Chain A
Amino acid sequence: MTKAARRKEEGRWAWRLTGFVTLCVYIFMFAPIVATVILSFNASMFGGFPMTGFSLQWYAKLMNNDAVLTAFRTSLWIALVTAAVTTAIGVVTAFALVRFEFRGKQALSTLVILPALVPETILGVGLLVLIKAVDQPRTMLLLVLGHILLAVPYVVLIAQARMVGIRRVYEEAALSLGASRFSSFREITLPLLIPAVVGGALLAFTISFDNTSASLFWRPAGVETMPTQILSMLKISISPEINALGTVMILVTVGIPLIGGLILQSLTKLKRRGEPKEEVR
């Protein structure tokens, strides 16, 4: 075999190895989730293999579990409020950070990403220490504001990335034609930002809905969110009911963004016609 041919052969093996490791990583990522979904339909009394038959009894039991239903409703409300508020304040912040020049802008952009980098345990303890120092109780409002803090970096980053691609001449044209600041933002900037707005809101929703560690610190006494409820159920043992609950949660949290994404895609496809070509600055 010539040297070149041998090298080519080596390259092919390296590529195969890459593909193989990739496959293994994907299996690693999804095997536990698939196992959980399968086990949720197990007729067996114990939350484990082997499968003894197909059954929906655990879903039925779940529907009658008041603690779980209450926690689900609590989490849903918190996540909806978090998504709405975070998107509003995050998009406006991204607009200011991209369009305006002001002192301290660099410091602010760094500060904004910190909640995503500081471990939740530290954020959790910090806020508790603060409200203890001023002698305030833990309230629902505190929990929601905390979730907003955790989601803000992601919404700002997503909106900023999109904002950079929108040329400011569109807004300035509206302004020069007599539009007010607010209406130029609403009529021009916001529609162009829609993908970032929807993406940011969905992400904020999932961040809040999934949050565990910080919620353990911040929740008012007696309140359980979905993840903390699961955690306390797991302290007893892993039951088929938890597998069913996990499956329902997966359907909700994966289903909503997927459907949202599909709707968004078809919307942008419809709008593509007749829209002026955007130049990337």
Chain B
Amino acid sequence: MKQSSLREHKRLEEGALLRVRMNNRWTLYDPRLAWMLVAPVLLLLIFFLVLPIAVMAAYTFFTFVTAGVETSALTAANWQEFFTDSYYSGFLLKTLRVGAITALLCGVLGYFPAYFIWATSFRHKWLLLLLLIVPFWISFTIRTFSWINILGEQGVINVALLRMGIISEPLPMLYNEGAVILGLLHFLLPYMILNVYVSLEGIDRTLIAAARSMGCTSAQAFREVTLPLSLPGLAAGLLLCFVLAAGSYVTPQLLGSGRDALFGNLIYDTIMGELNWPMGATLSIVLFLVLGFFAAIYTRYMGMSQIVKGLGG
């Protein structure tokens, strides 16, 4: 009896849906409607992301005449200059090195807090998580320049050491590569911690209990179960930190000297300073391809989903 009323109900419902379909001459989940819904975002992506990169790729073959002027006569001169002048490859290698160091440091330093937050029995865990999200709300420029108050000649460290008589002159801690990496670390650690934390949260805790009950020590259980299962999050964090560090502009600008400029600064100076648009476009495409290459390797082995989770999905 119950079965038949259920069937009746289902039939009625289908009838109603059919009516909707008849009225509009559209099916309920019509692809045309979907395209209308995504149209604004799709147009934005086409005109502000896809088309610019395509035009930029074409621009790399344009001829540079003088500051701010170029002709559409096709040439390979920009690419030739990029591949022959060691100035550019030096910049690229330095940028990749700084990005890699930053990402690795983030991985090492970020794993501990992520693990701690996941494993702690502290009741106000949410507070620890909230504190990780708060930096995202504070302006990146402010977070970066605030390091001047710590490392600068009148910063906390120098003033404290001078007062204690340990040093007689302020230590030069700012405007070098170390300061740039420190600033990047400060900016990227929350990304890493959240990525690792999300993948730790996805682990079935009974697996660890099972490992322990089979005689694993806690160290073994961590090494054999927890660590491998959290690797996707760690890898996503590493990729994200690497890409964001290698593409940074503000941090080297504020915390580094002229010698610590990264590829992003080179692009900015080429375009806004020298007004050499074809070369600027070439450098942008190079950075895009190099970072895209690393992202492609990553997605080949890990897939996109972990990145999506890490970005807040």
Q: Which residues of A come within 8 Å of B, CB atoms? A: 7, 10-11, 14, 17-19, 21-22, 25-26, 28-33, 35-36, 39, 46-50, 89-90, 92-93, 95-97, 99-103, 105, 108, 110-123, 125-130, 132-133, 145-146, 148-149, 152-154, 156-158, 160-161, 172, 175-177, 181, 203, 206, 209-210, 212-213, 216-217, 226-227, 230-231, 234, 238, 242-243, 246, 249-250, 253-254, 257
Contact = CB atoms under 8 A, between A and B. Distances in A.
A206 B136 contact: yes
- SS of A interface (majority): helix
Contact of A122 (B37, B134, B244, B247): B247
B309 to A, nearest CB: 9
Interface of B is mostly: helix
B241 to A, nearest CB: 12
Given A49-B156, A119-B246, A145-B48, A125 B146 contact: no
A72 B73 CA distance: 44
B225 to A, nearest CB: 15
B149 interface: yes
Given A89-B44, A96-B34, A129 B313 contact: no
B38 interface: yes
A56 to B, nearest CB: 19
Contact of A102 (B34, B116, B218, B291): B34
B143 interface: yes
B207 interface: no
A227 B44 contact: no
A10 B268 CA distance: 51
A207 to B, nearest CB: 9
A269 to B, nearest CB: 15
Contacts of B35: 102
Interface in B103-160: 109-110, 112-113, 115-117, 119, 131-132, 134-143, 145-150, 152-156, 159
Q: Across chains A and B, which 10 residue pairs bring their CB atoms closest together, nearest first?
A: A48-B154, A119-B247, A126-B52, A176-B16, A100-B34, A32-B146, A102-B31, A21-B112, A96-B37, A157-B313
B247 to A, nearest CB: 2
Contacts of B277: 129, 132
15 contacts: A25-B112, A48-B155, A49-B154, A49-B156, A96-B34, A100-B30, A117-B240, A119-B248, A119-B287, A119-B291, A121-B267, A127-B52, A216-B272, A230-B142, A234-B145
B49 A149 contact: yes
Contacts of B293: none
Contacts of A160: 313
A234 B49 contact: no
Nearest to B153: A48
B56 A126 contact: yes
Contacts of A203: 312
Nearest to B263: A121
- Among B16, B34, B116, B267, the most chain A Cβ lie within 10 Å of the Cβ of B34
B151 to A, nearest CB: 9
Contacts of A125: 56, 267, 271, 280-281, 284
B209 interface: no
A248 to B, nearest CB: 10
A92 B40 contact: yes
Contacts of B281: 125, 129
A60 B154 CA distance: 23
A105 to B, nearest CB: 8
A7 B150 contact: no
Given A113-B308, A230-B145, A249 B139 contact: yes
A52 B17 CA distance: 75
Contact of B52 (A30, A129, A152, A176): A129
Given A119-B246, A119-B247, A127 B149 contact: no
Nearest to A254: B137
B169 to A, nearest CB: 15
